[in-house]
Amino acid sequence: MFFKRDLMTYFNKHFPNSKYILINKELFPAVCTSDGYCYYHHPDLVTHQQSMEQYSLEGLRKTDIVIDLGANIGAFSMRAARSGCRQVYAYEPITYKVLWDNIHLNNLQDKITPSWIALGNGDLTTVEWNGYKTPASTKTMTQIIKECGGCDFLKCDVEGAEWLINPDELAHVRRIEMEFHMFSPYADESKIEAYNQYFNMVFQARRGKTLWYSGTNKYV
CA distances from 89 to 28, 62, 145 (A): 29, 15, 10
- pLDDT of 185: 92
Q: What is the pLDDT along the chain (220 residues), one digit of tens a residue?
A: 334 455 667 777 778 887 777 767 777 788 888 888 999 999 999 999 999 999 999 999 999 999 999 999 999 999 999 999 999 999 999 999 999 999 999 999 999 999 999 999 999 999 988 888 899 999 999 999 999 999 999 999 999 999 999 999 999 999 999 999 999 999 999 999 999 999 999 999 999 999 999 999 999 9
- Predicted confidence at residue 4, as pLDDT, reads 46
13 and 102 share a domain? no
Give the domain range for residue 17. 1-36
> Who contacts 144 (Cβ-Cβ below 8 Å, separation ≥6)?
67, 69, 89, 91, 117, 119, 151
Global confidence as pTM: 0.90
Whether residues 189 and 105 share a domain: the answer is yes
130 lies in the same domain as 154? yes
Q: What is the pLDDT of residue 105?
A: 97
Residues 102 and 14 in one domain: no
Give me the DSSP letters along 119-162. Answer: ESSSS-EEEEETTEEEEE-EE-HHHHHHHHT--SEEEE--TTGG
Percentage helix, strand, coil for the chain under 3-state DSSP, each rounded to 5: 30, 30, 40
What burial letters (b/e) apply to 33-54, b meaning 16+ CB within 10 Å? eeeebbbbebebeebbeebbeb
Number of domains in the chain: 2
